[in-house]
Homo-oligomer: A and B are copies of this chain.
């Protein structure tokens, strides 16, 4: 079995090869931004998930490499277009694509990347091609749905926890789940195992996103990549906020709503006020309990996959890595 770190090296080298090819492909203003977007890096979590899952059922991971590249290209396509929509000028300490090039070039390069994700996937072995494309295409559309729900929530005041969980399932979790299942399909794994891996990824993905919400407020600033309280400043509907609105008394709820209805506020003051309310309401502990619930579900499902426990070691390490987020 490969370790996560070995798979990261392996897929990074494959992606680097593609980047080099893309940099030489015309039109330069189409493929240059694609190469740039892909070179911004990150931990290549999604393609590693594809390969790792394949490796559970197959000694070699070659059969899953096209799918792995495909998921990374697709994920970076969503980031590219998200950055336009959010007017996010920076990504991983570099100018985002629309900022480095133009908005039009970013729209079109993103469009190309979403198509290229299919083209990479089409390099997979013929006998597994159809189920892989079906899964990928379904997943890709769900990610768009999740993104739209997220955008809709910005303007809504009545978002329920259930709606929120559905949104993060679509926006974040289905792709992680899909990556694991793609790898399993590439390795000709039994259908039941592939489905269990999908369910494992889904629960892990939701736990991961809830953790992301939590860290935005309660992370150690030194370890956390982003600015603490970013979600509070940007009025984002997070699990923490929705839970606080759900369980608070009328007066506290009104205080929260006042902070979130105005656009003119002192940022540190708002962060402090909302954080204090969260503390008073035990939101940290409640969210941790929620995270743990999904995480334990994931582990439970992992347990059910019909494989020797020893071979699941790296999968569980990956789950740990995703959750601890020691970046």
Which residues from chain A sit less than 8 Å from chain B, CB to CB? 26-27, 29-30, 81, 84-85, 104-105, 107-108, 110-112, 114-116, 118-119, 122, 126, 129-130, 133-134, 137-138, 140-141, 144-145, 147-149, 151-152
Whether B137 lies near A115 (C-beta < 8 A) is: yes
Whether B144 lies near A30 (C-beta < 8 A) is: yes
With a CB–CB cut-off of 8 A, which chain B residues contact A148? 27, 29-30, 105, 108, 112
Taking a contact as CB atoms closer than 8 A, the residue among B115, B122, B144, B151 that contacts A104 in the complex is: B151
Taking a contact as CB atoms closer than 8 A, the residue among B115, B134, B138, B149 that contacts A140 in the complex is: B115
Q: List 18 A-B contacts (CB under 8 A).
A: A26-B145, A27-B145, A27-B148, A27-B149, A30-B144, A85-B104, A104-B151, A105-B148, A108-B151, A112-B144, A115-B141, A115-B144, A116-B141, A118-B118, A122-B133, A122-B137, A126-B130, A129-B130
Q: How far is the CA of A325 from the CA of B27 in the complex (A)?
A: 31
A199 to chain B, nearest CB (A): 23
Q: Dominant SS at the A interface? A: helix
With a CB–CB cut-off of 8 A, which chain B residues contact A145? 26-27, 30, 112
With a CB–CB cut-off of 8 A, which chain B residues contact A116? 141
With a CB–CB cut-off of 8 A, which chain B residues contact A141? 112, 115-116, 119
Closest 6 CB pairs of A and B: A30-B148, A112-B144, A27-B148, A85-B104, A115-B140, A118-B137
**A27-B145, A130-B126 given; A138·B152 CB < 8 A:** no
With a CB–CB cut-off of 8 A, which chain B residues contact A138? 119
- Tell me the number of copies of this protein: 2
Whether A144 lies near B108 (C-beta < 8 A) is: yes
With a CB–CB cut-off of 8 A, which chain B residues contact A108? 81, 85, 144, 147-148, 151
Q: How far is the CA of A105 from the CA of B27 in the complex (A)?
A: 27
A151 to chain B, nearest CB (A): 6
Q: How far is the CA of A248 from the CA of B104 in the complex (A)?
A: 33
Q: How far is the CA of A27 from the CA of B167 in the complex (A)?
A: 10
Q: How far is the CA of A38 from the CA of B126 in the complex (A)?
A: 33
Whether A119 lies near B104 (C-beta < 8 A) is: no
With a CB–CB cut-off of 8 A, which chain B residues contact A144? 30, 108, 111-112, 115
With a CB–CB cut-off of 8 A, which chain B residues contact A27? 145, 148-149, 152
A306 to chain B, nearest CB (A): 28
With a CB–CB cut-off of 8 A, which chain B residues contact A104? 85, 151
